[in-house]
A and B are shown apart, each in its own frame.
Chain A
């Protein structure tokens, strides 16, 4: 932890979901982000996988991101509720080379919003990732169309990413964490648990969704 006196350092633990159709590259994005690795042959995720990324956000803030890698083919309806529980942010991923995975984005977003909410009842901040952009044929995804889609569907924004070529993965994560922190801003510091602030403290009306991009 660089700089800053330890006593003043705030530590956050955020649970972030990564969801989307199977084979869109959820595991690859997480492996890229956490371990700076890429492989063509990550095995299908069964149930849920898990990775932890520690971010030195600024001199006074340490963020631990818990990335929940959730199987694309979720066979147990009931279980997803447990997987989603207490999440404070989400990536919904699709594969730019397969339009069907984009069509399924709304379904995933709807599922997400129906199963998890912020303490104030708002949907949790979520970001859309158009993955495998390294394989994109021409400019099939028009940026303005995407912006509109995000607005309508309730995404904070979208990024073209490539886990393979390491494009925009860090940026997307940074963008999401900013918004999660915004939701947290103004939350009175609650001592109790030592220096770790528990996930999503209660209350505090969230900032109105910043419709960036």
Chain B
């Protein structure tokens, strides 16, 4: 943007080196947010930059006035003074995020505003929320981004109504017309409140079982893959004085290792998919990279595994902060302009943070600090920790995901919201086309309109091809496709209002879409079951051409497609068996006892083929579809849904040792009698449990491949353990190590750590 803004941020960053913002009153905090907005607007209006500096000045005055309070928030033991929810205890401008790999056309440095604030936490007493908002978002007057740096928790939690009332008061008129953002604050406040309640229930139950064990999820870098971002961060800081040649060598080694593994994975991925999918994959990767750099990063540090600070200067003020999640993902924040030492003090003060010593560190050198997060109890894995943080995506929250050009601001965040909360039926028709890759997330509203017109013409051309077949072609088409389509469309979803009644024109539209699809993709043609998949799309999207292209996207991008090939289904079943082996060993043993027939998992073929459409009423089944299409943390969420059904409804099978056919009967009798919401929740918690596993069998390596790292710098890549079946190659293509140990059971997350210790290359010297 403009130089004046940069100057302003620069100014702020200079001052903020010393500033630790503490706001006791929400008005102040709000005032601050508004100030920034005003100042930016003033600047856009062409007013002097004076206003900018003034507003930042006000902000800084407030910040420094309370700096002395900083050290008291822990005060040795909990409760010396009540925690002020929402207090900002650290903030710093121009903290950078760097791309993990250079992205063409993107700069290396992505500066942003970092802020740490306190929030009440049921188990920890208080927790720290760290938020990084890219400057680009602040510059764009992205109100949502600004809201992130204004903690809203405490007053909202205590009194949501008051907040709503206050927000309704007049505010400076926005420069652009913004979506009805007023609703956001009270809404999220309520959600947090709900979540808090939920959390407390869960955890108290958990406490009983774990009793007094201090569940420090102490940090082990168990996988060579996990090292790469950190070692990169290290290698990058070439000016660092602390890296001796030996450890640097080791870093390099680990980097090459991870790089080569990564490239072999990529080539594997490419060889597996068709050319067009390969292209899509690359595009997607770029989008994901941009996302990771330009998206808001926000985590509850109380849920992290470890925090590490690597100093790059003698004074130990600049360097990198590396945040590691319990799911072994990493984020690296670069402090080029000091401030890291102050953050270290904050961590030292926080009672949940325990500084851990590395054995080989020499006492007189301070180069790295490591904190692990200790919790009185580990959070329960029975419920995904982010469960109930999200509400159903409705019109107003959907609009908030779009900027004024109609582009989706943060794809990852949108997908996550959909994964947890689903989409309100009234806007499914609008949002599904994004999930189904008909619209790209960064397209503007105008581009989408143009795209629709273009695709409509294309659709008409396909239809024309069908209608102008030669008699021979047509008779073959009739035999292979049309006959079956004609049979099926009249018996698909006829109880749905949209298709009800004789001579319903929508049935004819569905028929045309399916016929045209078979022309468009003759290799696939028509498979029974496609009508079940297209019917809900048409019901929600309504437009014929749009539905067609969404259906194309559905068939290309989702993995539960009605593929006509044995091997696709076989692969799904293989993954499912492996998941069961890992997560429900008792059931897997039962299958093993039944032998090959049992392992065929006949009872879930239809689950996979139609993505549960026949197992649950539409309202619930479509929620499952959306959750699968969101590709959140896995590309195979439908398999987690399968496991969830078996976990919840499969006890009889193992208890009564049901035979293969009885098992089929058992589950087919359950269709339309299961609780879809419960299954969804269970599946999300299973995914969470899966992601906590420090090691997974190499057979499940691809389960989290396409979904991207989200806001993290590292993909999710746990240690891979070779399960030893690679007929085509000598060694495990995933670099898995053969180990005699049984795979860790998810119910004992700590168990898996045994023996997974690898040589720790972070043998840095450390301060005394």
Contacts and interface: CB of A to CB of B under 8 A. Distances in A.
B484 A50 contact: no
Given A42-B491, A73-B527, A73-B528, A47 B484 contact: no
Contacts of A76: 566, 569, 605
Interface in B471-500: 479, 484, 487-488, 490-492, 494
Given A44-B531, A82-B602, A85-B597, A75 B564 contact: yes
Contact of A50 (B490, B610, B664): B664
Contacts of B602: 47-48, 79, 82-83
Contact of B668 (A23, A50, A71): A50
A83 to B, nearest CB: 8
Interface string B452-471: 00000000000000000000
B491 A49 contact: no
A156 B606 CA distance: 33
Contact of B665 (A50, A72, A78, A85): A50
Contact of A46 (B529, B570, B600, B664): B529
Interface residues of B, number: 31
Contacts of A82: 597, 600, 602
A41 interface: yes
Given A49-B668, A73-B527, A77-B566, A43 B492 contact: yes
Contacts of B531: 44
A47 B562 contact: no
Interface in A75-117: 75-79, 82-83, 85, 100
A88 to B, nearest CB: 12
Contacts, number: 74
B528 A66 contact: no
B282 interface: no
A45 B487 CA distance: 12
A55 interface: no
Contact of B487 (A22, A48, A66): A22
A15 B487 contact: no
Query: Most chain-A CB neighbours within 10 Å: which of B491, B532, B597?
Result: B491
A45 B531 CA distance: 12
A119 interface: no
A173 B273 CA distance: 48
Query: Most chain-B CB neighbours within 10 Å: which of A23, A40, A44, A47?
Result: A47
A84 to B, nearest CB: 11
A46 B487 contact: no
A47 B606 contact: yes
A132 to B, nearest CB: 13
B614 interface: yes
B628 interface: no
A46 B566 contact: no
Contact of A79 (B605, B661, B664): B605
Nearest to B531: A44
B488 A48 contact: no
A197 interface: no
B562 A75 contact: yes
B609 interface: yes
Nearest to A66: B661
Q: DSSP class of B's interface residues: helix, strand, loop or mixed?
A: helix
A82 B661 CA distance: 10
A206 interface: no
A49 B665 CA distance: 9
A44 B491 contact: yes
Nearest to B479: A100
A22 B528 contact: yes
Contacts of B484: 22-23, 73
A125 to B, nearest CB: 19
Nearest to A41: B491
A34 interface: no
Nearest to A24: B487
A63 interface: no
A41 B606 contact: no
Contacts of A23: 484, 487
Contact of A48 (B566, B569, B664): B664
A181 interface: no
A82 B597 CA distance: 7
A76 B565 CA distance: 7
B600 A79 contact: yes
A52 interface: yes
A1 to B, nearest CB: 21
Contacts of A43: 491-492, 532, 614
B665 A46 contact: no
A141 B21 CA distance: 91
A46 B561 CA distance: 13
Nearest to A47: B605
A6 B576 CA distance: 43
Contacts of B564: 75
Nearest to A199: B661
Interface string A163-180: 000000000000000000
Interface in B170-216: none
Interface in A23-53: 23, 40-50, 52
Query: Most chain-A CB neighbours within 10 Å: which of B528, B569, B668?
Result: B528
Contacts of A45: 528
Nearest to B527: A75
A22 B491 CA distance: 13
Nearest to B604: A47
Contacts of B606: 46-47
Interface string A1-22: 0000000000000010000001
A40 B490 CA distance: 9
Interface string B611-635: 0001000000000000000000000
A46 B609 contact: yes
Contacts of A52: 665
Contacts of B492: 43-44
Given A75-B564, A82-B602, A41 B597 contact: no
B658 to A, nearest CB: 13
A73 B532 CA distance: 15
B12 to A, nearest CB: 61
Contacts of B562: 75
Nearest to B665: A50
Contacts of A48: 602, 605, 664
A198 B610 CA distance: 33
21 contacts: A15-B661, A40-B491, A41-B494, A44-B488, A44-B531, A44-B532, A45-B528, A46-B529, A46-B532, A46-B609, A47-B609, A48-B602, A48-B605, A48-B664, A49-B668, A50-B668, A75-B528, A75-B564, A76-B566, A78-B566, A100-B479
Interface of B: 479, 484, 487-488, 490-492, 494, 527-529, 531-532, 562-564, 566, 569-570, 597, 600, 602, 605-606, 609-610, 614, 661, 664-665, 668
Given A44-B529, A45-B528, A82-B602, 15 more contacts: A43-B492, A43-B614, A44-B488, A44-B528, A44-B532, A48-B664, A50-B665, A71-B528, A72-B528, A75-B528, A76-B605, A77-B566, A79-B566, A79-B605, A82-B600
Closest 7 interchain pairs by CB?
A47-B605, A23-B487, A73-B528, A41-B491, A47-B606, A44-B528, A75-B564
